[in-house]
């Protein structure tokens, strides 16, 4: 007997007018059953200087967060180098390459999407979205960024709410974090 596919998550990060925010919904589903409605999928790292969120398997994401923190310790002033080194390890290490997750990572200067296939993507428009409802949140955030006066946190909160209205794997139990000083 195999377990149903676990679907969960919408995580969105936005940089707008010098501020950076990242948020995630709280829903975790297995097949067509909601098994948790208040999961926390975004967190701060490195004394609040880095925001990170995940989509995918929770244990895998936590293992990747640990590896990311190791890379951030090794390259403390260079998020780009840290995420590239994480992606290299993730793709080539026998254990890590089996991990099923995507990461969104941001500091005051940059946003990155990191995948186990070696991808490290820095978006052109300072918006990243991952997870089941990521496409909905991305579209909403792009529209809100261009056509509203909302700050980064407001865009994230509103776009995640819109995704929660559309995506059955996304709810409206939203947590939004902002970088200190942004």
CA–CA separation, 21 vs 37, rounded Å? 21
Q: Find the distance separating the first CA and the last CA of the chain, reported in whole Å.
A: 49
Q: How many CB atoms lie within 10 A of CB 74?
A: 11
Tokens read off for 143: 């529209």
> Rounded to whole angstroms, what are the CA distances from 135 to 11, 47, 82, 164?
10, 30, 26, 12
Q: Which residues are catalytic?
A: 9
Burial of 75 (0-12, 13-18, 19+ CB in 10 A): middle
> Rounded to whole angstroms, what are the CA distances from 108 to 93, 105, 130, 164, 167?
29, 11, 19, 27, 29
């Amino acid at each position: 007997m195999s377990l149903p596919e676990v679907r969960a998550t919408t995580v969105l990060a936005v940089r707008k007018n010098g501020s950076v925010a990242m948020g995630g919904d709280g829903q975790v589903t297995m097949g067509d059953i909601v098994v948790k409605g208040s999961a926390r999928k975004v967190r701060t790292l490195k004394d609040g200087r880095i925001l990170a969120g995940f989509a995918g398997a929770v244990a895998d994401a936590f293992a990747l967060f640990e590896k990311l923190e190791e890379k951030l310790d090794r390259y403390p002033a260079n998020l780009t180098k840290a995420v590239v080194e994480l992606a290299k390890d993730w793709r080539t290490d026998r254990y890590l390459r089996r991990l099923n997750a995507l990461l969104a990572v941001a500091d005051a200067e940059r946003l990155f999407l990191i995948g186990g296939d070696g991808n490290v993507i820095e978006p052109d428009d300072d918006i990243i979205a991952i997870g089941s409802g990521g496409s909905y949140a991305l579209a909403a955030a792009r529209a809100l960024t261009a056509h509203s006066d909302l700050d980064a946190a407001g865009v994230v909160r509103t776009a995640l709410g819109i995704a929660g209205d559309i995506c059955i794997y996304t709810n409206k139990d939203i947590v939004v974090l902002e970088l200190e000083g942004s």
